[in-house]
Amino acid sequence: MKRIRLWLAMIMGIAGGMMGYAVLAHAKSTPPSTAMIEALPALSGDMIWTPDYSASQLQFQATHIGEVFTGDFSRFAVAVKLDPDNLGDSAVHVVIDMTSFDAKDEDRNANLAEPAWFNIIGHPYARYDSTDIKKSATGDFIARGMLSIKGIERPVDLAFSLDVDGKNAVAMGKTVIARTAFKLGTETDDFATEDWVAFPVEISFTLAATR
């Protein structure tokens, strides 16, 4: 394994050049598989949003020997029930196809697929689930949920903004996780520290939806 190339990053969001909510121009998502959709809970009632995957993005950003770079996941499935006026009945669920990642570098892609990192054969899917969504102090929103990567589940807060225009909506958000929490690269001698790859990984997303 080439340690000068090996690197990590993740999840929901899941957008960017990626400081703030900047969008990486050429990253486009594709519709999820039937199996991914069926893995989501069936939400009912009002304010169910249907994702527009062609206008949505899920991206990650990490730092490798001082260089910040961005990758993306092109395939993910989302189930959302969100009423800004009734957050107590809101929920967001995301299934991410880990095999759809692209770290924008051939060697990184080869290495990230390995068991020490994403382990896409043993754990082809990651997921995020939240039924605890509240307004933040800034007037935006925070989803408090559980993120599962490689079968390891950890609590993750996801901050996001929401722009609703009639039956159309766009949510943009981000969070930062520690790769150590999900044993991403940490069980190798070279990457157990931050000498080569920093521990923090930013995940950001843009989700367009209609109802």
The H or E element containing residue 169 is strand 168-178
**C-alpha to C-alpha distance for 32 and 40, rounded to whole angstroms:** 11
- Mean pLDDT, 10 residues at a time, over the chain (211 residues)? 36 33 50 95 94 97 90 97 93 98 91 94 98 94 98 97 96 97 92 92 98 93
Structure confidence at residue 64 (pLDDT): 86
pTM of the model: 0.85
Q: Decide: 154 and 129 in contact? Cβ < 8 Å.
A: no
Structure confidence at residue 17 (pLDDT): 33
Q: Decide: 29 and 75 in contact? Cβ < 8 Å.
A: yes
Structure confidence at residue 107 (pLDDT): 86
Angle CA(56)–CA(110)–CA(195) in degrees, nearest 5? 95
**C-alpha to C-alpha distance for 142 and 137, rounded to whole angstroms:** 10
